[in-house]
């Protein structure tokens, strides 16, 4: 699978189209979630006046001397075509920009076998705990660093954010409820309605109480344990084997 990101000019007032200024991608082994290849290029747009001073100051090459899109189209096609596409908000933005760029040079665009949009995945499985779910907000939440808004850096940050989110969700589905949000470090139990609860046997933490007590009612009958909450699904498209992702 390939995580990618594009930087573009602002939409033109007359046509509303954007020119791709930068393309960055990392090819990732979905079984081990490690980067095995990468590609990055700054792209010279047809209208240099559309390049913002901020972007020109960020890049380490002169945009005017960078290759045009048609000069790097073959390389970009090879990176993207026939792979699982992954990225943040790519379904609403990056995918469209890639297809527009290929259409502008009269060439068929690359096609994915599947798309993993991390914005959609996070909104469904991670919720709003990290705020607005923008990449910069997520990076700050996990202490990864500041978003550089450079294509290759953002693609790598995207993969790292997904790893952190998946790890947290996996722990939440396994540890006792509320443990990761407890203010007491190392707490393994919590009180509810003045009763002390024992951790689930499926917990990652192995706990041996000094004395096990059965909760009894006034009549001496053993009260049944409360039904356990079904764990929320983890990042199924990221954590499972690649054959599941590619199916």
Catalytic residue annotation: 149
Tokens 């705990």 locate to 129
Residue 185 buriedness (CB in 10 A; 0-12 / 13-18 / 19+): exposed
Neighbour tally for 99: CB within 10 Å:
14
Q: Which of 89, 74, 131 is nearest to 4 (CA)?
A: 89
Round the CA-based radius of gyration of the chain to a whole number and report it. Answer: 24
Neighbour tally for 5: CB within 10 Å:
27
Determine the distance from the C-alpha atom of residue 143 to the mean position of all C-alpha atoms in its chain, rounded to a whole number.
Answer: 15
User: Contact 18/11 with Cβ under 8 angstroms?
Assistant: yes
């Amino acid at each position: 699978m390939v995580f990618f990101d594009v930087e573009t000019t602002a939409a033109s007032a007359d046509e509303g189209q954007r020119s791709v200024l930068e393309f960055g991608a990392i090819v990732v082994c979905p079984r081990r979630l490690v980067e095995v290849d990468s590609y990055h290029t700054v792209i010279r747009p047809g209208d240099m006046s559309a390049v913002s001073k901020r972007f020109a100051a960020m890049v380490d090459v002169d945009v005017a001397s960078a290759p045009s899109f048609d000069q790097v189209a073959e390389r970009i096609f090879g990176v993207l075509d026939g792979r699982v596409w992954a990225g943040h908000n790519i379904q609403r933005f990056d995918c469209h920009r890639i297809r527009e760029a290929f259409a502008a040079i009269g060439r068929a665009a690359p096609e994915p076998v599947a798309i993993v949009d991390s914005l959609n995945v996070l909104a469904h499985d991670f919720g709003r705990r990290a705020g607005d779910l923008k990449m910069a907000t997520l990076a700050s939440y996990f202490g990864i660093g500041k978003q550089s808004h450079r294509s290759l850096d953002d693609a790598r940050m995207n993969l790292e954010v997904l790893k952190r989110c998946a790890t947290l969700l996996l722990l939440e589905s396994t540890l006792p409820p509320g443990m990761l949000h407890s203010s007491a470090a190392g707490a393994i139990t919590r009180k509810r309605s003045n009763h002390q609860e024992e951790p689930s046997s499926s917990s990652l933490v192995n706990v041996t109480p000094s004395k096990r007590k059965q909760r009894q009612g006034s009549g001496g009958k053993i009260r049944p344990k409360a039904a356990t909450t079904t764990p929320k699904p983890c990042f199924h498209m990221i954590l499972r084997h690649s054959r599941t992702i590619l199916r």
